[in-house]
Amino acid sequence: MDNLSIVAMASIFAAGLTMAIGSVGPALSMGSAIQQALAAIAQQPDERNSLTRTLFVGLAMIESLAIYCFVISMIVIFANPFWGHFIKAGG
């Protein structure tokens, strides 16, 4: 197997693994954050506005972790820096 196909195989494999592992943690933590927020809103419906706003900000913070993983996997698949290097070296 030449270098190019090793890079291609590793990129696809790494992209899939990045999304798979990287979305587990944010999913669990977003679930528990929403659970707590719903419980809090059920207890204190008057505080709904500030709870919802804080929940959104917190969800955005957590979600950015999953987004980092997604961006990394997109870069690895579509804009891989090693790909160009090995094409240049091979050709």
Partner 1 sequence: MEIVSLNQISPDQVIIWSWGFITINVTILYTWLVMVILVFASWLATRNISSEMNVSRWQHFLEVVISVVRGEISEMTKKGADKYIPLIGTLFLFICTCNVLVIVPGFVAPTASITTTASLALCVFIAVPYYGISHNGLFHYLKEYFQPNFIFFPFHVMGELARTLALTVRLFGNIMSHEKVIGILLSVTPLLFPVIMQALGLLIGVIQAYIFAILSIVYIASAVSAEEEHHVHVDVKKEGSQA
State the CB neighbour count (10 A cutoff) for residue 56: 11
Cβ of residue 62: shortest distance to partner 1, in angstroms? Answer: 11
Please report where in the chains the tokens 């290097």 appear, as a residue.
Answer: 85
Closer to partner 1 by Cβ: residue 41 or 72? 72
Closer to partner 1 by Cβ: residue 40 or 62? 62
Residue of 10, 22, 38 whose CA lies nearest to 72: 22
Closer to partner 1 by Cβ: residue 1 or 57? 57
Cβ of residue 61: shortest distance to partner 1, in angstroms? Answer: 8
Q: What is the rounded CA–CA span in Å between residue 18 and residue 72? A: 8
